[in-house]
Amino acid sequence: MELFDKIKTLTELQATSGFEAPVREYLKQRMIELGYTPEFDGLGGIFVTKESKKENAPRIMVAAHMDEVGFMVSEIKSDGTLRVVSLGGWNPLVVSAQRFTLFTRQGKKIPVVTGGLPPHLLRGTGATPSIPAISDIIFDAGFDNATELAEYGVAQGDIIIPETETILSANGKNVISKAWDNRYGCLMILELLEFLENKELPITLIIGANVQEEVGLRGAKVATTKFNPDLFFAVDCSPAGDTFGDSNGRLGLGTTLRFFDPGHIMLPGMKNFLLDTAEDANIKTQVYIAKGGTDAGAAHLANAGVPSTTIGVVARYIHSHQTIFSLDDFNQAQNFLRAIIKSLDAEKVAQVKNY
């Protein structure tokens, strides 16, 4: 399968925080096809372990997260419209006038749109359009009233997820889709597992994907405790600032070196290791000083402390229906991750852990 086809398959899956089953099932089937045996943590994270034949081999964890941002139905109005709470971070400006799918407890898929206020209804009122709170945005499935909604099985607690088609940009360099945060990571781990088939390593690898990252890095806390790694590598996507006049995070400049975010500071040993590995493998990298976090922020505080980092890419307009990201950035990140895994052994891990 070509890279774009793999991206299209994963990004068009709909799975939000706490409801990651469609992505987990896809990962499970691919892991089994590749000859691995997946196991699960208590919240639904999925991982495979590739054991080293070396005695007392260091344990290295590489983890994506499966969830994309979405919504949960919080209120059903008498007119048949819905109100929601957000699952993950949303800018209210990107929510209105978009298509979504609502998933009922019975498994029904119901098309939903968010209502945008027409300019006609503002004329003569003297009112000025304002940014709505997420809780005030109208979600409309086209039903007559609350009774009809109930007849179709819609209830509080149902999940609403963006509905979009993944397409290639006209120049063939970029992809436009939803959910590259973090189906990027999910594809990264599958590509890594395929690359590692029949390869013997001096390290034990735990490779997989966490749940509920978008609502507080929850799955990483559970998985890191369960698998007890010596080092943790999150694979995650971050916002590009280039089209907003921010040089922090530019499309096409390669994989990110996330030296800082509000919940994590890269340790000196890890920083030196990444810089040296990138140089040796001729990887395009860009420094990234982040305003948000990744699962590395939770993992590095687990157990007795786990040196962690993020192998990332940037994408424009994340946490919306339409994200733009670079195919070359993905390839740079994949080559970087492979170089990292190939270079690690007990001695190198000890150096990385040197703070």
Please provide residue 266's backbone torsions phi and psi, each rounded to the nearest 5 degrees: -65, 130
pLDDT exceeds 90 at position 124: no
Helix-helix angle 268-280:327-343, to 10 degrees: 110
CATH architecture of 70-162: Beta Barrel (2.40)
Domain regions of the chain by residue span: 3-68+178-352, 70-162
pLDDT at 303: 95
Residue 131 pLDDT class (50, 70, 90 cuts)? confident
Q: Can you give 252-265 as a three-state secondary structure string?
A: CCCEEEEEEECCEE
Mean pLDDT of 332-340: 98
pLDDT at 298: 97
pLDDT at 241: 95
Residue numbering of the annotated binding site for Zn(2+): 65, 181, 214, 236, 319
What are the b/e assignments for 21-35, b being 16+ CB within 10 Å? ebbbebbbebbeeee
Residue 247 pLDDT class (50, 70, 90 cuts)? confident
pLDDT exceeds 90 at position 175: yes
Sign of CA dihedral 206, 211, 217, 221: negative
Q: Nearest to residue 90, comparing CAs of 318, 343, 334? A: 318
* Active centre residues (catalytic): 213
pLDDT exceeds 80 at position 339: yes
Residue numbering of the annotated binding site: 65, 181, 214, 236, 319
The residue that leads in pLDDT, 47 or 247, is 47
Mean pLDDT of 82-109: 96
The CATH fold assigned to 3-68+178-352 is: Aminopeptidase (3.40.630)
Say whether 37 sits in a helix, a strand or coil.
coil
pLDDT exceeds 70 at position 312: yes
Residue 122 pLDDT class (50, 70, 90 cuts)? low
pLDDT exceeds 80 at position 125: no
The whole-chain average pLDDT of the chain stands at 95
Half-sphere exposure of residue 171: CA atoms within 13 angstroms, side-chain side: 7
pLDDT at 121: 61
Mean pLDDT of 106-124: 82
pLDDT at 311: 98
Mean pLDDT of 80-101: 96
Query: Quick check: 249 and 239 in contact, CB under 8 A?
Result: yes
In single-letter form, the type of residue at position 140 comes to D
d(CA 186, CA 340): 18
> Are domains 3-68+178-352 and 70-162 of this chain identical in fold?
no
Pairing of strands 70-76, 159-162: antiparallel
Residues 6+ positions from 68 with CB-CB distance below 8 Å: 14, 15, 16, 88, 161, 162, 178, 179, 181, 182, 183, 214
pLDDT at 132: 85
What tens digit of pLDDT does each residue of 259-309 get?
A: 999 999 999 999 999 999 999 999 999 999 999 999 999 999 999 999 999
